[in-house]
Amino acid sequence: MTEPTTPTAEVTEVTEERPHPLTPLVQVWVWIVGMAFFVGRQLLENPTQPIPADLARFPWWLAIVGVLGLVSIASNLWNWYTTRFVVTPTELRVEHKGVEHESKRVAYTRIQSVDVTQRFAARLLGMAELTIDVGGGSPIRLQYLSRTRATHLRDVLLARAHRHEADADAGASDLFSDTRPSDRVLVTIPTQELLLGAALSHELIALVVVTAIPLVIGVIVGQVLLIGGGLLPLVFSIGGFLSKRVIGQFNYTLAETSGGLRITRGLTSLTSETIPAHRVQAIRLHEPVLWRRIGRTRVDLSYLGLRKLTTDEDQAGASSIMLPIGSPDAVRTALHAVWPGLDLDAIVLNAAPRRARWIAPLAWPWLGWGVDDRVLVIRRGWWTRTTWILPHARLQSLRMSAGPVLRRLGLATVDAHTSDVGTSASMIMTDADARLFLAEESHRAREARGTQRLLGIVRA
């Protein structure tokens, strides 16, 4: 491996690099841990004779697992040996010369976001995976680099995506975060806040209801065994859920860096996403019914290439979550990080017509939509109240539709489409309003696109 001596020297000189040599081992770490466990137990039980004379004592499946593990180590080794990547002044090239030759080229201007993920085993060995999202198609993964190399490469890629040079002060980040002195930390979420959010989440309610069924039956029937058997899974699943949520979101940090917004999180596996703010296509605010009591909101954002990513709150890797739980202040800070000066409270929402109560009896008082000169705001939902914030300039298409019931009521649904992974934003209006809205909104979207083109904010 040709590690450059100083970060800046590498900007001009073009060298081919391989991923870290320990990559094949990290990829099969589960197997290694399993084998070490078996061998270790064997040694403990029988220190003089690690391999028993009577080989038939080994379970037959252990041999299969062993062989499969060796085969996958060999194939991973071959993969590692045949993979090289090159950082040139104009593009990142990933060459794979195994049985099939493959060369992927990423033009820096096409980069949507770059993530550094350290899964558990990789983290123990100080290694990280780099995921480069280029919009359409599958993202490009580099497995694995040393952590400093990964973060430095991330900085270089993002800097070139923004057409300026990388900061020289690479690497000064500790074990649980990924921030530099030059970065501005906007929001961090304390662990108790995460616990509070998880305790009041719909997932926990569902979990309690499902696992409490045997308990309730046990109490009714008077079976002690059923009560005990129902209580244990209840305790375990709640504990598991809470710890998983807290471990996944541990030390959640939203920071503003020169490369874009950076989200860092995780206790066992550390995930660090960087999204240029001008790539954000839309923002969604989720307020589940219980969170509304304590004034908390989840913020999701969508950008191109999110198709493959998860909205799951517990997984490692890139997700669409911008803020897993936030007070109104934190939400405002997050919104301003993407669209400075946006005042959500100043946007007056038009209420839905009374007739819409037949369609959405609970959510009816919250239905609404409003516009200002930059964004379209749509709010709906009772169980989870969702507010979409869509910039006019990002609107992809509009649709009004009405089935027999809606038409009988003189109503129509209007959907505003962006490159969003979730459900599309929709609102209920009278059909005359809907028609008017379609005309006005497409005009607004066109104006906004024109302005952006003039300012050169959006690059083709």
Partner 1 sequence: MTQTAEPDPFAPDGTWQGLSPRYAVVRLVTTAITNVVFWAIVATASFFMVGRPELTFALAAAGAIWTAWRLWRVRRWVNSWRWTERDADLCIARGLWHRQLTVVPIGRMQLVEVSAGPLLRWQGLAGVQLVTAAAHTNAHIPGLDKATAVALRDRLIERSDAEGSGL
Q: Which is nearer to partner 1, 112 or 131 (CB)?
A: 112
* Assigned token pair, 168: 């020289």
Q: Kindly state the smallest distance separating residue 182's Cβ from partner 1, in Å.
A: 28
Of residues 92, 283, 412, 428, which one binds partner 1 by CB under 8 A? Answer: 412
Judged by CB under 8 A, which stretch of 221-229, 243-251, 339-347, 434-442 contacts partner 1? 434-442
Q: Could you say which of 106, 157, 367, 395 contacts partner 1 (CB under 8 A)?
A: 395
If the CB atoms of residues 23 and 418 are measured against partner 1, the closer one turns out to be 418
Q: Which is nearer to partner 1, 164 or 446 (CB)?
A: 446
Q: Which is closer to partner 1, CB of 127 or CB of 393? A: 393
Among 104, 244, 292, 435, binds partner 1 (CB under 8 A): 435
Q: What is the secondary structure of 136-204 as a DSSP string? A: SSPPEEEEEEEHHHHHHHHHHHHHHHTTSPPPS------TT----TTSEEEEEE-HHHHHHHHHTSHHH
Classify 96 as helix, strand or coil. strand
Q: How far is the CB of 434 from partner 1 (least distance, A)?
A: 6
Residue 125, both tokens: 């060995």
Rounded Cα gap, residues 101 and 98, in angstroms: 6
What residues from 157 to 216 belong to the interface with partner 1 (CB under 8 A)? none
* Distance (Å, whole) CA 352 – CA 364: 7
Q: Which of 202, 209, 401, 440 binds partner 1 (CB under 8 A)?
A: 401
Residue closer to partner 1 by CB (options 244, 355) is 355
According to DSSP, the β-strands at 140-146 and 127-133 are antiparallel
Residues 126-155 that bind partner 1 (CB under 8 A): 135
Binding to partner 1 in span 289-308, by CB under 8 A? 304, 307
Give the containing element (helix H, strand E) for 127.
strand 127-133
CA distances from 63 to 34, 48, 56, 282, 318 (A): 13, 22, 11, 52, 37
Pair 191, 252: CB distance under 8 Å: no
Q: Nearer to partner 1 by C-beta: 153 or 406?
A: 406
Q: How far is the CB of 226 from partner 1 (least distance, A)?
A: 40
Closest CB 375 distance from partner 1, rounded Å: 17
Q: How near is the Cβ of 76 to partner 1 at its closest, in Å?
A: 34
> Secondary structure of 245-277 in the HEC alphabet?
HHHHHCCEEEEEECCEEEEEECCCCEEEEEECH
When the beta carbons of 202 and 446 are compared against partner 1, the nearer one is: 446
For partner 1, the closer CB: 199 or 304? 304
**Rule CB under 8 A: is residue 41 a binding residue for partner 1?**
no
Asked if residue 446 binds partner 1 (CB under 8 A), the reply is yes
The binding track of 318-357 with respect to partner 1, each residue x by CB under 8 A or -, is ----------------------------------------
- Angle at CA of residue 87, ends 84 and 93, nearest 5°: 55
User: Minimum Å distance from CB 111 to partner 1?
Assistant: 13
Minimum distance, C-beta of residue 358 to partner 1, in the bound complex (Å): 16
Identify any residues that bridge with 114 across adjacent strands, giving them in sequence order. 132, 274
CB of 399 to partner 1, least distance (A): 4
Determine, following the binding rule CB under 8 A, whether residue 397 of this chain makes contact with partner 1.
Answer: yes
Whether the Cβ atoms of residue 322 and residue 300 lie closer than 8 Å to each other: yes
Smallest distance from partner 1 to CB 449, Å: 4
Beta pairing partners, 253: 188, 264
Question: Does 438 sit near partner 1 (CB under 8 A)?
Answer: yes
Count CB atoms within 10 A of the CB of residue 283. Answer: 26
Query: Do 155 and 238 meet the contact criterion of CB atoms below 8 Å apart?
Result: no
Q: Which of 337, 418, 427, 428 binds partner 1 (CB under 8 A)?
A: 418
Instruction: Examine residue 234 and tell whether it contacts partner 1 (CB under 8 A).
Output: no
Cβ atoms of 106 and 156 within 8 Å: the answer is no
How distant, in Å, are the alpha carbons of 197, 229, 232, 235, 328 from that of 213? 24, 11, 13, 13, 36
Neighbours of 71 (CB within 10 A): 10
In the complex, the smallest distance separating the C-beta of residue 112 from partner 1, rounded to whole angstroms, is 9
Q: Which residues contact 61 (CB under 8 A, 6 or more apart)?
A: none
45 Cβ contact partners less than 8 Å away, ≥ 6 residues apart = none
Applying the rule CB under 8 A, the residues between 354 and 393 that interact with partner 1 are 393
Which distant-in-sequence residues (6+ apart) come within 8 Å of 328 by Cβ? 295, 297
With CB under 8 A, what is the number of residues at the site for partner 1? 41
Q: List interacting residues with partner 1 (CB under 8 A).
A: 135, 281, 304, 307, 393, 395-404, 407-408, 410, 412, 415, 417-421, 424, 431-432, 434-435, 438, 442, 445-446, 449-450, 452-453, 458-460
